[in-house]
A and B are shown apart, each in its own frame.
Chain A
């Protein structure tokens, strides 16, 4: 009697389990064969990474002033490795906020160097008369929110109200430079874009391969030279005069007139200040 009772639910349970596993297997197969692409959350995607330090989609900057500012920002990166960007547009895109736009863009562009996150991106929306200075993690100490706000409200804002956009951004860049120098980052003399550029002289690329041969050749040449003039004259030893002018440093002033921006891989956690003018 007892055994019978005990048996009944056991069998039922087993059958239930079997049917369940069949269903599960079917579901598993479905999921396995047709993996659902998940992350459909990001409602808005930031614009692609700008090619220059200064981007003017609103057409309010005279080209000469824009490229001058661009060069100034590139020079600052060469010196300090800090990346400072300016982005101008008419309106914040639909479906996002000023803050979200700034942070997502900063993150996507990788403003500032990797590991240092020493970047600042300044966003200006002319028709909405709004601006935001987004400060990377690595400059939060040098440019705390209150300082970012003061630069916005006391330096950039008044010039914008006076209609001098180029002057406002120029003065803003100077103020950002002054503040960012509070953090002792050192530049390498080249921007991230310049470091990424392929080496201008391909001979140097093969140098490690050639080096042993060159070394052997030099040793032989020296040996032959020494044997030929076995009685060495006094004061004679200038065999190493650098007569071969094969590799002149063909670099520095590049033909491309304006410097490119390339993100270093920095990030921001939403520090900075949003202001209107």
Chain B
């Protein structure tokens, strides 16, 4: 009698371990998938920022051609681009909030310098009218819009991950396996909308 009870207990414990282990494995896989989705979204974010950085030399070259163009505005753009390009973060490095904040600051600075440049150009009608500049402006606006889109999608996937990480049974697995809360983009003034320079 006592033997069979002990046996029953062992079986019960075994089943319990299996069930809990299965749940833990499922939670781990889900977390991993959500984590990968954030990394994929980050790759897109990097792409569009790189796209903007690639546009800058061309823009600077075109604007320089206009006589007596404000040197200071141009220098600011060039410097902001240089410091933004220095901060390259792979999918792992952005898990650190401090890194992430640095990246965002540098990119927002470049965005700000670029929109100041576009405002300054308003004073140069012949530059504004040139086909070359108009094409560049369309590309720049498109890129700013892409940045807004990919940042938004990155934030969405990060939110999905963070919510999953914080939800009940998963949070235990997350703490065990070292899945941390991930940082996301904060709205900086002017960075939410593409520069509204129209003509």
Tell me the A residues contacting B by CB distance below 8 Å.
Answer: 28, 31-32, 35, 38-39, 41, 97, 99, 103, 144-146, 148-150, 268-276
Contact = CB atoms under 8 A, between A and B. Distances in A.
A39 B160 contact: yes
Contact of B142 (A28, A97, A270): A270
Contacts of B167: 31, 35
Per DSSP, chain A at the interface is mixed
28 contacts: A35-B167, A38-B159, A39-B160, A39-B163, A41-B159, A99-B148, A99-B193, A144-B142, A145-B142, A145-B143, A146-B134, A146-B135, A146-B136, A146-B138, A148-B142, A149-B134, A149-B138, A150-B135, A269-B48, A269-B146, A270-B142, A270-B147, A270-B148, A272-B145, A273-B142, A274-B145, A275-B198, A276-B198
Main secondary structure of the interface of B (DSSP, over half): helix
Nearest to B140: A145
Given A38-B163, A41-B159, A99-B194, A270 B135 contact: no
Interface of B: 44, 48, 134-136, 138-139, 141-143, 145-150, 156, 159-160, 163, 167-169, 193-194, 198
A85 B41 CA distance: 27
Contacts of A103: 145, 149
A249 B46 CA distance: 52
Given A269-B150, A276-B198, A99 B145 contact: yes
Contact of A28 (B146, B159, B163, B168): B168
A132 to B, nearest CB: 9
A169 B148 CA distance: 28
Contacts of A271: 142, 145-146
Contact of B156 (A41, A148, A268): A41
Contacts of B138: 145-146, 148-150, 273
A275 B85 CA distance: 30
A81 B80 CA distance: 42
Contacts of A272: 142, 145
A144 B139 contact: yes
Nearest to A132: B145
Nearest to B44: A269
A156 B149 CA distance: 25
A274 B146 CA distance: 12
Nearest to B194: A99
Contacts of B169: 32
A146 B149 contact: no
Contacts of A97: 193
A150 B138 CA distance: 9
B135 A149 contact: yes
A146 B147 CA distance: 17
Contacts of B143: 145
Contacts of B135: 146, 149-150
Contacts of A149: 134-135, 138
Nearest to A32: B168
B141 A273 contact: yes
Contacts of B145: 99, 103, 270-272, 274
A146 B150 contact: no
A148 B169 CA distance: 49
Nearest to A130: B198
Contacts of A148: 138, 142
Nearest to B47: A269
Nearest to B149: A270
